């Protein structure tokens, strides 16, 4: 290969690497800074220095002292796990009905469900809040968990798209063997749809774990039932200038999510592309 | 199967109608709603300057944030399509920030962009910029802070663009090469049309979610004003109302001011605006979106 072409290829490769790394640094820098700040003393956190001196690992334990983090984590877990179970229990049958069964009005039902995706949640939130007030459930976790058992449009949509890719012959074979629809759903379709179901479970878990608006609305008044997100927002109010502690709290909050992400990485990327945006 | 669907629709349809009804009433939860007709809407449009402020802020962040996010998403996705060793590792790294919980990410950005000791301004000063922006602490620059936060979390959009870019048939590029097209020409005439459905999707989703922006605005606003959740009403949208977005405004009116009827009216205005924008984008899309399989006829 001629010398100058080889040299050009090498320079292009260097340029590409440089570009990729530069962008990566941009993405990682906030994380790095947050971690470093979380390890500083309070006085040092507000100075422009970059490296903690000394390393105050105790900041992390101090966060636990300042706010009942474990209690909040438990609340958040209850909500996230409960909602995810609710979504799975309700959306799988609906998606199944929309994709694997034939009945009149099937298309219309699907369109209606899709339409609700476009509805800003603010439109329904006011009457929903009032309903829960009348039921006396404001300040409890119920309004945050129960509605999941009634379905979620995005999850139904994603599951339906995936179920449609499973060949009809498999269902037919099961029907010939005398299986009921419910059995087909649980024994044939669900095992085959595990990636999509995993993606739905993860999306919902994360969404509920991170949500601020709904928990703020329904349990904002009952401090014992606060979620981690609410606690984090409030943290700056109580301990405003203690940025080191705030960053420590932020990290503690992010940690489970990031760990979960690394464990389930592939599922995420597949799940997002499963929404089938290819036109 | 049908019972589930019925229950689901009921939890959507009933509140919708009910909220439409509420928007015509004055309702404080302490007493039954009293019918006041179009009064809420009249107040909204003519008497409430904060309503127009909320609209301006929201429209601004959408008009600026969404295109920038799409462009950056395409750029980073393109970076990932370059043949390079370890590109999968880069993909994970680029995606990671979008996994950070929005509330925590917002707080992190408030610190990173702190005008005094934050690293961003330190670096800017190092480059000779003597009065770097106040970011979240200044009314003119606070929304730019949010835009940057959105760009940092571009991972979810980037992944979709990556799938779209990988889908472009290679023959088209080869044909363009034969015709002697430059890199930029290939991008404009092959890549862009081929990924236009993805751009369309991202545009619609971006606009719809943009109108509903809440968490990041609320958290940064609180952090900057140093008030607690219960006192927030006075300082809403600090600094100086620049972070007063529609959703935040609605939250304040309905759930801290307990003006339920007014909040319901606000919600329906939001819905109407979102619908108008979405339909406009869909109509406009016929001109610039090209579907490989012939599309939806």
Question: How confident is the model over A88-100, as pLDDT tens digits?
Answer: 888 888 888 877 7
Q: Does the CB of B270 have a partner CB in chain A at under 8 Å? A: yes
- Whether chain A has a CB inside 8 Å of the CB on B78: the answer is no
| pLDDT for position B70 | 93
Subunit contact B5:A220, Cβ cutoff 8 A? no
Beta bridge partners of B25: B35
3-state helix, strand, coil in chain A (%, to 5): 80, 0, 20
Q: Tell whether B235 lies on the interface with A, counting CB pairs under 8 A.
A: no
Query: Domain-by-domain residue ranges, chain A?
Result: 3-60, 69-274
pLDDT in tens, chain B (297 residues): 555 566 666 666 666 677 777 777 666 666 677 777 777 777 778 888 888 888 888 999 999 999 999 999 999 888 888 777 777 788 888 888 888 888 888 888 888 888 887 888 888 888 888 888 888 888 888 888 889 999 998 888 888 888 788 778 888 888 888 888 887 888 888 888 888 878 887 888 888 888 888 888 888 887 777 655 555 555 566 667 788 888 888 888 777 777 777 888 888 888 888 888 888 887 887 777 766 554 443
Name residue B26's beta-bridge partners: B34
Helix pair A243-263, A228-238: axis angle to 10 deg: 160
Instruction: Tell me which chain A residue has its CA closest to the CA of residue B228.
Output: A237
Query: What is the pLDDT, as a whole number, of residue A100?
Result: 77
CA-CA distances (angstroms) from residue A142 to A83, A129, A218?
Answer: 10, 12, 9
* pLDDT at residue B64, rounded to an integer: 93
> Would the CB atoms of A20 and B76 count as touching at under 8 Å?
no
B contacts of A19 (beta carbons < 8 Å): 79
A278 pLDDT band, cuts 50/70/90, is very low
Residues of chain A contacting B201 with CB distance shorter than 8 Å: 277
CA distance B264 to B27: 10
Helix (H) or strand (E) holding B136: none
Q: Count how many residues are written for chain A.
A: 279
Residue B110: closest C-alpha in chain A: A243
Chain B closest-CA separation from residue A52 CA (Å): 14
Buried b (16+ CB within 10 A) or exposed e, A207-244: bbbbbbbbbbbbbbeeeebbbbbbbbbbbbbebbebbb
- Asked whether the beta carbons of residue B102 and residue A19 sit closer than 8 angstroms, the reply is no
Average pLDDT value over all residues in chain A: 77
Test B228 with A234 for CB contact under 8 angstroms.
Answer: yes
Among A96, A232, A278, beta carbon nearest to B103: A232
pLDDT value for B295:
43
Pick from A235, A244, A239, A252: which is nearest to A45 by CA?
A: A244
CATH architecture of A69-274: Orthogonal Bundle (1.10)
3-class SS of residue B167: coil
CA distance B51 to B193: 39
Q: Which residues of B touch A29 (CB under 8 A)?
A: 112, 119
Q: What is the pTM of this model?
A: 0.77
**Cβ contacts of B153 on chain A, cutoff 8 Å:** none
Residue B271 to chain A, least CA–CA distance (Å): 6
Beta carbon pairs, A and B, within 8 Å: 252
Q: Where are the alpha helices (DSSP H) in chain B?
A: 2-22, 39-42, 49-81, 87-99, 102-112, 119-126, 142-152, 155-166, 170-178, 183-186, 192-211, 215-225, 246-255, 260-288
Determine contact: B61 vs chain A, CB below 8 A.
no
Distance from CA of B205 to the nearest CA of A (A): 9
Return the H-helix or E-strand segment holding A91.
Answer: helix A69-100
B215 is written with which tokens? 């968490």
Gap between the Cα atoms of A253 and A247, Å rounded: 10
What is the average per-residue pLDDT within A255-268? Answer: 74
| In chain B, where the domains are located | 35-288
B35-288 has which CATH code? 1.10.3720.10
Whether residues A120 and B212 touch (CB distance < 8 A) is answered with yes
Buried b (16+ CB within 10 A) or exposed e, A1-39: eeeeeeeeeeeeeeeeeeebeebbeebeebbebbebbbb
Tell which phi-psi region holds residue A140, choosing left (phi > 0), alpha (psi between -120 and 50) or beta. Answer: beta
Is the ipTM higher than 0.90? The answer is no
Please name the member of B29, B268, B289 whose beta carbon is closest to the beta carbon of A123.
B268
What are the tens digits of pLDDT across the range A105-144?
777 777 777 777 777 777 777 777 777 777 777 777 777 7
Angle in degrees, CA A135, A139, A141, rounded to 5? 85
pLDDT in tens, A17-56: 888 888 888 888 888 888 887 777 777 666 666 677 777 7
């Amino acid at each position: 290969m001629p010398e100058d072409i080889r040299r050009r290829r090498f320079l292009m490769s260097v340029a590409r690497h440089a570009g990729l790394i530069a962008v990566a640094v941009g993405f990682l820098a906030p994380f790095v800074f947050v971690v470093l700040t979380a390890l500083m003393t309070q006085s040092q956190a507000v100075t422009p220095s970059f490296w903690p001196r000394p390393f105050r690992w105790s900041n992390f334990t101090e966060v636990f002292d300042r706010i009942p983090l474990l209690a909040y984590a438990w609340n958040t877990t209850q909500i996230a796990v409960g909602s995810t179970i609710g979504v799975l229990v309700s959306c799988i049958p609906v998606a199944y009905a929309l994709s694997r069964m034939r009945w009149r009005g099937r298309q219309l039902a699907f369109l209606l469900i899709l339409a609700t995706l476009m509805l800003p949640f603010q439109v329904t939130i006011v009457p929903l809040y009032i309903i829960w007030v009348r039921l006396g459930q404001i300040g409890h976790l119920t309004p945050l968990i129960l509605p999941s058992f009634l379905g979620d449009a995005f999850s139904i949509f994603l599951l339906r798209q995936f179920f449609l890719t499973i060949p009809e012959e498999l269902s037919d074979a099961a029907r010939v063997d005398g299986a009921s629809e419910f059995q087909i759903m649980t024994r044939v379709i669900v095992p085959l749809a595990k990636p999509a179901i995993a993606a739905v479970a993860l999306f919902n878990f994360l969404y509920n774990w991170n949500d601020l608006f709904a928990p703020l609305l329904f349990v904002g008044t009952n401090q014992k039932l606060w979620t981690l997100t609410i606690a984090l927002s409030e943290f700056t109010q109580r301990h405003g200038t203690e940025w080191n502690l705030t960053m420590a709290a932020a990290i503690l909050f992010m940690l489970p999510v990031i760990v979960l992400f690394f464990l389930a990485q592939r599922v995420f990327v597949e799940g997002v592309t499963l929404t089938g945006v290819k036109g | 199967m049908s019972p589930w669907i019925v229950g689901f629709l009921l939890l959507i349809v009933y509140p919708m109608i009910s909220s439409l009804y509420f928007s015509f009433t004055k309702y404080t939860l302490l007493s039954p709603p009293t019918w006041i007709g179009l009064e809420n809407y009249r107040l909204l449009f003519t008497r409430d300057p904060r309503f127009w402020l909320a609209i301006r802020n929201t429209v601004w962040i959408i008009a600026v944030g969404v295109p920038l996010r799409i462009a950056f998403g395409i750029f980073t996705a393109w970076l990932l399509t370059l043949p390079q060793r370890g590109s999968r590792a880069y993909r994970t790294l680029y995606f990671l920030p979008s996994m950070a919980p929005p509330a925590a990410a917002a707080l992190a950005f408030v610190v990173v962009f702190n005008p005094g000791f934050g690293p961003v301004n330190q670096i800017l000063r190092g480059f000779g910029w003597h009065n770097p922006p106040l970011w979240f602490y200044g009314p003119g620059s606070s929304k730019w802070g949010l835009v940057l936060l959105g760009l940092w979390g571009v991972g979810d959009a980037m992944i979709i663009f990556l799938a779209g870019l990988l889908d472009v048939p290679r023959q088209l590029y080869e044909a363009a090469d034969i015709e002697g097209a430059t890199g930029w020409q290939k991008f404009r005439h092959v890549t862009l049309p081929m990924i236009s459905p993805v751009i369309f999707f991202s545009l619609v989703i971006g606009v719809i979610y943009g109108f509903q922006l809440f968490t990041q605005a609320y958290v940064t606003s609180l952090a900057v004003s140093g008030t607690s959740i219960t006192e927030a009403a006075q300082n809403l949208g600090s600094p100086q109302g620049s972070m007063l977005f529609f959703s935040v405004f609605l939250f304040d009116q309905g759930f801290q001011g307990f003006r339920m009827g007014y909040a319901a009216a606000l919600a329906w205005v939001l819905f109407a605006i979102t619908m108008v924008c979405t339909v406009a984008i869909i109509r406009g899309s016929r001109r610039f979106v090209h579907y490989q399989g012939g599309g939806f006829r």
